[in-house]
Amino acid sequence: MSTTTTQVFTIFIRATPEQIWDAITRPEFTVRYFHRSRITITPERRASLAPDGSVRGDTAVEVFDPRRRLVHGWRSLYDPAMAQEPESRVAWEIEPGNGGVCKLTLTHDRLEGAPRTAQEVSGAGWMGVLSGLKTLLETGQPLYR
Amino acid sequence: MSTTTPTHLATQVYQIFIKATPEQLWDAITKPEFTARYFHGARITVTPDHYESLGPDDAVWGDAGVEVFDPPRKLVHGWRSMYDPTLNEESESRVTWEIEPDEDGVCKLTVTHDRLEGAPRTAEAVRGEGWMGVLSALKTLLETGKPLNG
């Protein structure tokens, strides 16, 4: 089904493109909204570490266009069954709008060979992360303690 | 423009997590003093019998029956896009709001817009950033006390 192998999520955030970019690519921000993962993204690589230092994600970066667009591979290394599935892909797009609000669009695709991952990240999966990102940027506090 | 809605748009589901009580969410969804601040300026009043939406100039933007009115958990009402002449000609669809408490004072809000088979233009208008614009602004209002836009 096209709806599960390509998943698109949109959220509007009162923040600058720079603030959103930093929140996506720097571990001191991601640890406060992305299941406590410390995620570091460079032009070459995306690395995600769990609180205990174990590797949750380790993939290549395809597009690194600061404040606008980021595309990287996705593997769910935090779960043994999902870790066996082939790599999928995540794209983040930041578009400035009116009144200091940006539209953030996240597209998770190439999920044809990763049905468990597709199920896990759908709906509440990605929207939980994006809701936490929005709360952190707009209030300075994490959504969940 | 097709006259039937593509299957994947006939039922649309949107979720967002909001730091608020179920009661605060319920009031924000059903009372005009809240909806005016996040729902395109619409003053929406929902009673056990009726859903009514008025534009800033008092034009009728929505007028439909209420199927389920279960505070502060579930609300189901009809949807007609009366704010647009073309959309207004399409058949009525349906919107369901479900509020589920999560941990740390956070609620999961799920909006399901379905029965869109006979309303392809409405399905296209509300998809993606349509509903997510409304839900993003609702979240900002409840968490910061201020509208997202302006």
Q: What CATH number is given to the structural domain containing A134?
A: 3.30.530.20
What pLDDT was estimated at residue A123? 84
What pLDDT was estimated at residue A18? 98
Distance from CA of A44 to the nearest CA of B (A): 31
Q: What CATH number is given to the structural domain containing B67?
A: 3.30.530.20
pLDDT (tens digit, 9 = 90+) per residue, A112-130? Answer: 999 999 999 998 999 999 9
The interface predicted TM-score (ipTM) is 0.94
Domain span holding position A120: 2-139
Evaluate if residue A2 carries a pLDDT over 70: no
- A51 is a domain residue: yes
What pLDDT was estimated at residue B4? 86
Distance from CA of A55 to the nearest CA of B (A): 26
Which residues of chain A does B15 touch, with a Cβ-Cβ cutoff of 8 Å? 123-124, 127
Contact status, residue A46 vs residue A58, Cβ threshold 8 Å: yes
Evaluate if residue A138 carries a pLDDT over 50: yes
The pLDDT of B9-21, averaged and rounded, is 97
What pLDDT was estimated at residue B2? 56
The pLDDT of B33-62, averaged and rounded, is 96
Evaluate if residue A1 carries a pLDDT over 50: no
Evaluate if residue B131 carries a pLDDT over 60: yes
- B113 is a domain residue: yes
What pLDDT was estimated at residue A109? 97
pLDDT (tens digit, 9 = 90+) per residue, B78-87? Answer: 999 898 999 9
- B15 is a domain residue: yes
The pLDDT of B120-145, averaged and rounded, is 96
pLDDT (tens digit, 9 = 90+) per residue, A21-44? Answer: 999 999 999 999 999 999 999 999
- B1 is a domain residue: no
Can you say how many angstroms the Cα of residue B19 is from the centroid of all Cα atoms in its chain?
18
Evaluate if residue B134 carries a pLDDT over 80: yes
What pLDDT was estimated at residue B149? 84
Domain count within chain B:
1
Evaluate if residue A61 carries a pLDDT over 90: yes
Distance from CA of A139 to the nearest CA of B (A): 7
- A74 is a domain residue: yes
| Residues facing B100 on adjacent strands | B108
Confidence of residue B32 (pLDDT cuts 50, 70, 90): very high
- A145 is a domain residue: no
Nearest to B128 among A10, A13, A14 (CB): A10
For residue A10, the surrounding DSSP H or E stretch is strand A7-14
- B76 is a domain residue: yes
State the angle between helix axes of A124-139 and B129-144 in degrees (0 to 180), rounded to the nearest 10: 40
Q: Among B98, B136, B138, B143, which would you mutate to test the A interface (most chain A Cβ atoms within 10 Å of its Cβ)?
A: B136
For residue A7, the surrounding DSSP H or E stretch is strand A7-14
Instruction: Find the chain A residues whose C-beta atoms sit closer than 8 A to any C-beta of B.
Output: 1-3, 8-14, 98-99, 101, 103, 123-124, 127-128, 131-132, 134-135, 138-139, 143-145
Nearest to B148 among A8, A101, A123 (CB): A101
State the angle between helix axes of A17-25 and A124-139 in degrees (0 to 180), rounded to the nearest 10: 120
Domain span holding position B80: 8-144
What lies within 8 Å, CB to CB, of A84 at 6+ separation is none
The pLDDT of A89-107, averaged and rounded, is 96
Three-state secondary-structure class, residue B107: strand
Domain count within chain A:
1
- Is B104 in contact with A3 (Cβ distance < 8 A)? no
DSSP-assigned states of every residue in A55-102:
EEEEEEEEEEETTTEEEEEE--TTSHHHHTSPPEEEEEEEEE-GGGEE
For residue B5, the surrounding DSSP H or E stretch is none
- B3 is a domain residue: no
- B49 is a domain residue: yes
Whole-angstrom Cα distance, residue A32 to residue B15?
A: 20
- A144 is a domain residue: no
Other Cβ atoms within 10 Å of B7 Cβ, number: 11
Average pLDDT, chain A: 95
